[in-house]
Amino acid sequence: MPENVANGVMRFGIFEADLRAGELRRNGSKIKLQDQPFQLLALLLERPGEVVTREELRGKLWPADTFVDFDHGLNAAVKRLRGALGDSAENPRFIETLSRRGYRFLVPVNGMAQECPPLPRARCHWRIALAAAILFLVGIVAGWQAGHHSAAAVRFKERRLTGNPENDPVTSASISPDGKYLAFADRTGFFLRVVATGETHPVPIPGQMRTYPAEKDPGPFAVSWFPDGSHVLATRVASLGEKPSLWSVSVFGGSPRKLMDAAALGAVSPDGTQIVFVRGEFAHQEIWQMQSDGGQARKIFGQPGANYESVVWSPDGRGIAFVQVVYVSGWHEVAVSLGIYDLVSGKSSSLFTTDRLRGALAWARDGRLIYSLSELPPNQNDSNLWTIKVDARGNQSWGQPVRLTSGPDGKMRASVSADGKRLIFLRWAESPVVYISEVQQAGRHLSPLRPLSLDERRNYPYTWTPDGKSVIFTSDRDGIFHLFKQAIDQPAPDLLVDGDQPVILARLNADSSAILYALDPSPSDTEHRVRLMRVPLAGGTPRMILAEPGINNFQCARSPSTLCVFSEYTPDHLAFFTFDPVTGEKEALTRIEDSEWHLQNWTLSPDGSTLALAKKHLIPGLADIRLFSVASGKDRILTLQSWTGIACLDWAADGRSLWVVASSPTGVPTLLNVDLRGKARPVLKESQKDLGWAIPSPDGRHLAIWEASGSSNAWLLEGF
């Protein structure tokens, strides 16, 4: 056992094993694990990096006088242990299986650097390489066989290039064609850095232009170098509410030049003569092509319901690769795919489809296509870079996918030097935290925020217990979003609902006797139905109320009203229904059929009389709130002067005002208290964090608010 084990506690990553208590904890939360799998873990932790043979395990865990099927028992114990760690045999992060030999623990224990056991040097290197994680490539089409095949990772040297602190994330970064310079942007401006020395200079930008967007992740802002190495193509937005535009920016001085309005994600061709870019609104995007001076713009590709997260050129300039997300009814993701479009033939092909595909994308001159995939639960918030060699038309691939990076954080953007030897990517991390604040002076002020809990997982509040003392929220602290309850003076939460399917929303019924919650569609459900569940607040067995494929929100009024409402996306409108929270019987209430129906957010007043609706922040212009009378079907509009980009809204506890998160004219996320005449009072401004919704306690004395800190920096992969 390592000498630095204190009090019998052994730590590895976000886990710790208390050998004396026989407990496994993840970020301080206890994980249920039977005795035999825990003993197996303890034996592996004693010898990290070494092979623990099956014979050794049999001797220590299954004595000679124990009459059991050893193979079955060991396999079951390993399976349970992997389940607790969120590990898998196909993609081992913690426990590696050596066929017919035994098992090996792959990660450092107690924060110590993992060392190879005393073996010949060459053999030690082989063991390090074999310890790298492996993945599956799923959904291969156009001549590819479906599924990621096992492929050993190749180790490269990673070097951090930027040192931005938390809440000032690098939103975009790109390496120059010669590999000497890094062009990057953050919330404060646009910069040029010498890779070798770290010398950094600001690049002037005109007027009030800012990088786009400064939100919770690096988003669609992109920088692409022209082959002359002195200019970049940058996505900019002149002011909040304006559509993005493409600009040619000299990194060594000179005035930027606008090339195209209503355009983003621009990429310059290898010869510098052409540009491809993305145009359109959310779930209605297209890929366009134009000359490098902005002339002869034309649509070249698009699919109904599609968004495009990345677009890059093939090395020979004959085609492009893109990450495409296709939505049904503007909401449900049905396909995330890596595609290739042949500019010569006009044909497109899909390399593979998987919802684990992320936005990082680059194409090296030797044909290697670099992309990012999220990890398996409980590390699904992390993603890593992979590569596979393809031809320019996407008709053929060579070899198996190879992992380029490992470890935590999301790999959001990627670019590669012209010689293909240097790869740049962004590492992004975000942690939404639930905060509690006391409402003061009739909603005009809030007390300083204090965190509900101190963990580093993603937490989102949805409702309160009837007494106003506890918050009910979702958290992925167990790997999957489960439902928890925590009193505002309690150090840790209580688990309310667990299971294999993520909880995506929770509310109380009208008399506050039960929690209603929604489960994400099961992967095996071909209809993609959201299941609406009910569980007694005092505890009991959950049961399903109803299941519909397009449920995106639901809410109940408070007693004496008995009204409950849910909304459902259909192919061409947003439908509202009243429903019985016991039987699940539903009745049509109203529908929204305008061109932006899929962007509506809404909340039901406590007395059940009014729906408040607002279009999400993706729509430019002044913020409007629509008040719809449930009884008469009539509505009126509140226009919030000087505010735009409503992100979310919820009724105050007394039903006399609304808590609204919108953006100021300078782009600062702000929590507003809006009365029913449209007068908005700012009560909380957050210029550095992502500000989420605010849920009032039933007595109106407190708010549960989530805010997310974000960090993002550029890293260099050398020897690529």
Q: What is the 3-state secondary structure (H, E, C) of 430-463?
A: EEEEEEEEEEECCCCEECCCEECCCCCCCEEEEE
Pairwise CA distance, residues 546 & 553, whole Å: 13
Q: How, if at all, do strands 574-579 and 319-328 pair?
A: unpaired
- Residue limits of CATH 2.120.10.30 in the chain: 160-428+712-718, 430-711
Q: CATH assignment of 430-711? A: 2.120.10.30
* DSSP structural state of residue 6: B
pLDDT at 666 over 80: no
Percent of the chain with pLDDT over 70: 85
| pLDDT for the residue 75 | 81
Higher pLDDT, 130 or 94: 94
> Which of 442, 385, 472 lies closest to 156 in space, CA to CA?
385
In the predicted model, what is the mean pLDDT of the chain?
A: 83
How many whole angstroms from its chain centre is CA 37?
32
End-to-end CA separation in angstroms for the chain: 37
pLDDT category, 454, cuts 50, 70, 90? confident
DSSP strand E in 537-605: where? 543-548, 551-556, 564-569, 574-579, 586-592, 600-604
Percent of the chain with pLDDT over 90: 48
Residue pLDDT, tens place only, 517-531? 999 888 777 778 999
- Cα distances from 255 to residues 184, 205, 250, 267, in angstroms, run 18, 8, 7, 20
Least confident of 200-214, 241-255, 289-303: 200-214
Residue pLDDT, tens place only, 111-125? 433 333 332 322 223
pLDDT category, 144, cuts 50, 70, 90? very low
Mean pLDDT (whole number) for 458-466:
95
pLDDT category, 711, cuts 50, 70, 90? confident
The fold adopted by the segment(s) 9-130 is Arc Repressor Mutant, subunit A (1.10.10)
pLDDT at 393 over 80: no
Residue 259 phi/psi, 5-degree rounding, is -105, -35
> Which of 161, 232, 173, 224 lies closest to 197 in space, CA to CA?
161
Residue pLDDT, tens place only, 332-368? 556 789 999 999 989 888 888 888 999 999 999 999 9
Helices and strands, number each (H, E), in the chain: 4, 54
Mean pLDDT (whole number) for 609-616:
90
Do residues 185 and 174 touch, judged by C-beta distance below 8 A?
no
pLDDT at 311 over 80: yes
Q: CATH assignment of 160-428+712-718? A: 2.120.10.30
pLDDT at 240 over 80: no
pLDDT at 428 over 50: yes
| pLDDT for the residue 483 | 96
- Residue limits of CATH 1.10.10.10 in the chain: 9-130
Higher pLDDT, 490 or 392: 490
**Residues 6 or more apart in contact with residue 432 via CB below 8 angstroms:** 458, 459, 460, 690, 692, 706, 707, 708
- Is the pTM here over 0.85, yes or no? no
